[in-house]
Amino acid sequence: MIKEDDTVGDFQQFVTDVTIRLSAMSKGELYVVGDGLDGDSLWLTFLDSFPAGTNLRFRERSEYDCSTCRGFIKSFGNIVEIHNGQVRSVWSGVSASDPVFSVVAAAMDEFVSTLPLSTIFRSTEAQYGTRTTRTLRDGQVEVWHHLHGRVEKRHRIKDVGAARGTFDAAVQVFQRGLAELTQHALDTVVDLIDDNALYRGTEHRRAVTEFRSLQNRWTKATDGQAFIFANAMNPAARFRNTVIGTLVQDLSAGVDLKQAVRSFETKVAPQNYQRPTALITPAMVKAAMKTIDELGIEESLQRRFARLSDVSVTNVLWVDNDTQSRMKDGIEGLLMQAATMRSAGARLRDAKPEEIPVVTFMKDILPGAATIDLWVANSHEPHFVSLTTGRHPAAPRLFTWDNDFGWSYNGNVTDSIKEKVKRAGGNVTGKLRVSLSWFNHDDLDLHVFEPNGDHIWYKDKRNKLDVDMNAGGTFSREPVENVTWTDNVPDGEYRIEVNQFNKRESTEFGFVIETESNGKIEHYSHERAVGHKETVEVGRMTVADEVITAFRPGKDMQPGSAGKDLWGITTEQFVPVSTIMYSPNYFDDGEVGNRHYLFMLKGCVNDQPTRGIYNEFLRGDLQPHRKVFEVLGDRTKCEPSPDQLSGLGFSSTVRSSVVAKVTMTDGRRHLISIQF
C-alpha cells in the first residue's frame, strides 16, 4: 500500500499495470506454481525486492503490515499463465517504465518463475485486495492505495478442492499416456483402423490421431510440463483411460497384436461385427514381402482350382472309366484293373449298410470297384471340399509338402461342427453326442434333459457338458457347446433345448444341432434369430441300446432330411464319384500331418471364391509371417471354374462316415458305410 502523498503516481501506475496484466491473463486459464509454498514467502520476497531507500512505508516501521496488499500477493502473486508454451507470471512485463517498480516486478517474476507448476487456479472469492482504504490520523483522513484484482467467473467455484482434484487427475493421466504410449503402438492402431481390421475402428480414429498429435507436439515443446498443464483438459489428453487407449497400452507394453485386439474387442462387447481382415500392419507386410522376394515365391501366391489334368495318376487311388482319359498321365500306372462290366441287373437290397473301416475299404474294395456312388447327406455340408493348386507350376512351393496342391473345405476352412468341438477341447468319441454350433458372438446355451429328468446345462454339467463358449472373456465366431455320454447311456426320451442367455448380435443368426450315435451324424437347423432369454425346443430324441432310434424336431427346427442344392449337386441322394485320392500332404508317398480322404464327385462345382493358402500349410520359413499370409490367403482366393475337382473330404482324425454304393468289376454290388 502507499499513501497518496508518497509518490502516489508511480504506485498507482504499478497497481494499474498489475491489474491490467491480471485481467488480460484471466481471459485464459490460470495456474498456481509452488506446491506447498508459504504465502508469506511471496510477501517477504515482495518487500525485499524494493531497492534500498525506496520503500517509503518501510522507513517508518520495521514491519510492513498492510493486510490488503498481503492478501493480494498471497492469493495472486504465484498465479501464472501458459502462453505459446511458456510460463508467464502476473509480474511479467509490469511497470517497465518505472525504475523502482520495474525492479520489484522483475524480482517477483524471477522468483515465481523458479517455482514448479502445481495445479489449476480456482477460488471461492470474487476478488483479492481493494483499490483504496481510508484511515483517520491526527484529525486527517489518509487515503491508502493497494494492489487489487478481480477473480473472473470462469475461475470461481464453490468446491475448489474438487476442481483441483479433477485437474490433477487429468494431468496425471496425460503424463502417463505421453510417457507410456509409444509412437509405434499408436501408428499400429491407426494402420489397423485404416485397413478396416479393428472393430468400428473409424469411430476411434480421431481419438488416436489427436493424442498422437499431442504427443508429437509434447516431444518438441521447450517446456514439457507447461505443455501438459496447458492441454490437460483437452479430451484427447484422457486417451490413455479410454477403451481404445487400453489397446495402445497393451501394444506399448509388448502384448501380442492378436491378443491385444482380442482383449479390446472383449471390452467393447461388439455388436453386428465380423472381422473383415486379419490383423496386419505395414511393418509386417514389409517384412513378409522381403521374405517373399528373397525366396522368389511371389508367383507361388497365385492360386486356382485344380483340374483332373493337373493330377498325376500316381496320386490317385481310384478313378472311374469316364474320368481316366482326362487324367494327367492317362490310365498308365493306375492300380485299378480294366474289366468289362456285367449287366447283372441285380438290385441293391434295402438293407442296413455294411460298416467297413476306411483302411479296409481302400485295401479290399477299391481295387475291384468299377463305379462308386456316395450318399451325400445334408449333414455332409461341412465335408464339401475343393482341391487347389498354383497358377505357375514351376514356381517354388509354399507348403510343407513337396507339391503345390492344397485343399479347402466348405466355409473356407481346412478341416466341421465335429472339428470345431474337437478344437475347443470337447469329446467327440463318446457313445452318444449332442453338439450345438452357431455363428456369432451371442451366448447360446445347450440344455439336455435325460429320461430320468436330470438336467445337463452350464450350471450342472454332470461330467457331460465339456465345451461352453461365448459365456464371457474371449468371444468366437465359431462357437460350440458339446454334451457327450462316454458310458451309461440311459434308454428313453431326451429333451433338447437351446436358450439365448445373452443376445449380442443381429446378424449371422441361427444355430445347428448335431447328433451322433453309432457313427451316424444328423443335423437339425434353426434359421431365425433367437431373442434375448428365449428358449427354443430343438426336439426329443429316443435312445435305445446307446443308439438314437428316433428324433422329433421342434416346430422351428429343420431336419436334415430334405435335399438341397449344394455346389451343383442335390443332397440326400447318391452322387457318382469320379476320383478318390488322399489329401496332397500324402501325395507321392509323403506323410505330412493328418491324412484326408477326398472323394471327388461328378458335377460338383464350388461356385464361391475359395482360399488356396492356409497358415496350417505353410512351410517353416514362412511361419513368422503368418498374419500377413492370413490376409494373402483371404485376398488371393481361387476364382470358380467349371472343370474343378470338388467333392467330399473326411479327416483321418475325426470320427465320421459316408454310405457308398459300389459296383464291382465282376458285377457284384455292395452297400457300404465307410467308417473314418
Q: How far apart are CA 75 and CA 178, in angstroms?
A: 32
Q: How far apart are CA 182 and CA 44, in angstroms?
A: 46
Q: How far apart are CA 395 and CA 611, in angstroms?
A: 18
Name which of 257, 237, 288, 292 is nearest 187 in CA terms: 257
Its pTM surpasses 0.85: no
Q: Answer whether residue 172 shows pLDDT above 80.
A: yes
Q: Would you list the domain boundaries of the chain?
A: 2-155, 160-268, 303-410+567-675, 430-562
C-alpha of 653 from chain center: 31
pLDDT band at 346 (very low <50, low <70, confident <90, very high): very low
**Could you tell me the CA-to-CA distances from 502 to 334, 393, 442, 469, 499 in Å, in that order?**
56, 50, 6, 12, 9
Q: How far apart are CA 450 and CA 358, in angstroms?
A: 34
Q: Answer whether residue 127 shows pLDDT above 90.
A: no
Neighbours of 653 (CB within 10 A): 14
User: Residues 287-328: pLDDT tens digits?
Assistant: 777 777 777 877 878 889 999 888 887 888 888 866 655 555
Question: What's residue 371's pLDDT?
Answer: 93
Percent of residues, the chain, with pLDDT higher than 70: 86
Q: How far apart are CA 622 and CA 320, in angstroms?
A: 38
Looking at 1.10.10, 2.60.40, 3.30.2310, 2.60.60, the CATH number of the domain 430-562 comes to 2.60.60
DSSP per residue, 295-354: HT-TGGG-EEE--GGGS-GGG-SEE-HHHHTTSTTTTTT--SPP-PPP---PPPPS-PPE
Per-residue pLDDT, averaged over 644-653, amounts to: 91
Question: What's residue 316's pLDDT?
Answer: 87
- Give the chain's mean pLDDT: 81
Residues 6+ apart with CB under 8 A from 452: 490, 492
Question: What's residue 656's pLDDT?
Answer: 84
Report residue 425 as a C-alpha cell. 477341447
Report residue 374 as a C-alpha cell. 456316395
User: Residues 567-589: pLDDT tens digits?
Assistant: 988 887 899 999 999 999 999 88
Q: Amino acid identity, residue 174?
A: F
Most confident among 9-13, 427-431, 539-543 (mean pLDDT): 539-543
Q: Answer whether residue 374 shows pLDDT above 90.
A: yes
User: Residues 625-634: pLDDT tens digits?
Assistant: 777 777 777 7
Question: What's residue 597's pLDDT?
Answer: 95
Name which of 657, 660, 614, 656 is nearest 637 in CA terms: 614
Question: What's residue 526's pLDDT?
Answer: 85
Report residue 267 as a C-alpha cell. 471390452
C-alpha of 361 from chain center: 45
Half-sphere exposure (CA, 13 Å, Cβ side) for 149?
30
Using the structure block, give the residue that is written with the C-alpha cell 509412437: 183
Tell me if residue 246 falls in helix, strand or coil.
helix
- Give the E-state strand segments of 531-572 in sequence order: 535-544, 547-553, 558-559, 565-566, 569-570
| More reliable by pLDDT, 398 or 414 | 398
Tell me if residue 375 falls in helix, strand or coil.
strand
- Give the E-state strand segments of 116-212 in sequence order: 117-120, 127-129, 132-137, 140-145, 148-150
Q: How far apart are CA 211 and CA 245, in angstroms?
A: 10
Reported for 325-333, long-range contacts at CB under 8 A and 24+ positions apart, including other chains, are: none
Are 222 and 230 in contact by the 8 Å Cβ rule? The answer is no
Tell me if residue 27 falls in helix, strand or coil.
coil
pLDDT band at 101 (very low <50, low <70, confident <90, very high): confident
Question: What's residue 326's pLDDT?
Answer: 52
Half-sphere exposure (CA, 13 Å, Cβ side) for 190?
15
Least confident of 100-114, 269-283, 395-409, 496-510: 269-283
Per-residue pLDDT, averaged over 352-360, amounts to: 90
Using the structure block, give the residue that is written with the C-alpha cell 508367383: 299
Q: Answer whether residue 387 shows pLDDT above 90.
A: yes
Are 610 and 385 in contact by the 8 Å Cβ rule? The answer is no
| More reliable by pLDDT, 197 or 530 | 530
Least confident of 168-182, 326-340, 556-570: 326-340
Are 511 and 526 in contact by the 8 Å Cβ rule? The answer is yes
HEC-encoded secondary structure of 454-468: CEEECCECCCCEEEE
- Give the E-state strand segments of 335-412 in sequence order: 354-357, 369-376, 384-390, 406-409
Q: Answer whether residue 59 shows pLDDT above 50.
A: no
